[in-house]
Amino acid sequence: MRFDVVTLFPGLFDALLDFGITGRALDRGLFRFKAWNPRDFATDSYRSVDDRPYGGGPGMVMLAEPLDAVMDAIEAELRQESVEPHVIYFTPRGRPLDHAKVAELARRPQLTLIAGRYEGVDERFLRRRVHEEISLGDFVLSGGEIPALAVMDAVIRQLPGSLNNVESAMQESFADGLLEAPCYTRPEVWQGEAVPEVLMSGNHKAIERWRLQQRLKLTAQRRPDLLEKRGLSRAEKDLLDGD
């Protein structure tokens, strides 16, 4: 997997490249990363990447020209590797990100992630160069970098070899469409509240049953839409309705 990230603030991505599972995956060569700063492709002496919006209104809009020059440079590099870019722009108006989309993106050889700033990007650039728009949710951030980091993190976790057995077990659990069961660790009683007895029983079958029941109940309470989409077996229905 190769990530080409278009951003005015490349340093924001150090958080993903230098730490944790994603930093380990980079060290293992499971993915490559290159940041491209539109300011390096600005053609005027002020190295402008934005300008005032036509039609008036507050703030500035990112210029199409420097961004287009970045895309040409990325395409030229990818051509050396016979790879076609897949270009994503992050905006609240995009398709909501979910596990299915993450899994689809993780199967691609390359992703170009465009992180906008200011009030947005000239629509003529988006229409010509962007393949899809993705949203993290119905809220506005200061830039597209955090959504780009989120997509990179989620995609990297899908790459073969990035997770150890424990980490992949956790990952798979969400992939089966249910929310996570509650988890507990020492002390056995904390501020007067004990760990659920079944977890102290050593009865692995009972523990597995309890955890699935908790997941079913939590998902039914908090995300009935997930349950609707996933469906339930007869046994799961009985477990959900049982005590």
102 near ligand 9WO (CB under 6 A): no
Tell me how far, at minimum, the Cβ of 118 lies from ligand 9WO, in Å: 6
Tell me how far, at minimum, the Cβ of 146 lies from ligand 9WO, in Å: 8
Q: Under 8 Å CB-to-CB from 23, ≥6 apart: which residues?
A: 16, 17
Q: Which residue in the set 141, 198, 199, 220 belongs to the binding site for ligand 9WO (CB under 6 A)? A: 141
The interface with ligand 9WO within residues 113-132 (CB under 6 A) comprises 116-120
66 near ligand 9WO (CB under 6 A): no
Q: Which stretch binds ligand 9WO (CB under 6 A): 5-13, 24-32, 112-120, 217-225?
A: 112-120
Q: At which residue do the structure tokens 């390096």 appear?
A: 40
Residue type, 99: H
Tell me how far, at minimum, the Cβ of 168 lies from ligand 9WO, in Å: 27
85 near ligand 9WO (CB under 6 A): no
Q: Hey, what are 189's tokens?
A: 């009683």
38 near ligand 9WO (CB under 6 A): no
Tell me how far, at minimum, the Cβ of 79 lies from ligand 9WO, in Å: 28
Identify any residues that bridge with 186 across adjacent strands, giving them in sequence order: none
Q: Is 87 helix (H, G, I), strand (E, B) or coil?
A: strand
* Residue 73 φ/ψ, nearest 5 degrees: -70, -40
- Nearest alpha carbon to residue 118 among 71, 48, 70: 48
3 near ligand 9WO (CB under 6 A): no
207 near ligand 9WO (CB under 6 A): no
143 near ligand 9WO (CB under 6 A): yes
- Nearest alpha carbon to residue 228 among 239, 220, 236, 218: 220
Q: Rounded to an integer, what distance in angstroms lies between the CA atom of residue 223 and that of residue 227? A: 7
Is residue 152 within 8 A of residue 3, CB to CB? The reply is: yes
Q: Rounded to an integer, what distance in angstroms lies between the CA atom of residue 91 and that of residue 219? A: 28
Q: Which stretch binds ligand 9WO (CB under 6 A): 9-17, 84-92, 203-211, 224-232?
A: 84-92
Q: Specify the residue, 144 or 213, whose C-beta has the smaller distance to ligand 9WO.
A: 144
Chain residues that interact with ligand 9WO, rule: CB under 6 A = 90-93, 116-120, 135-137, 139-144, 147
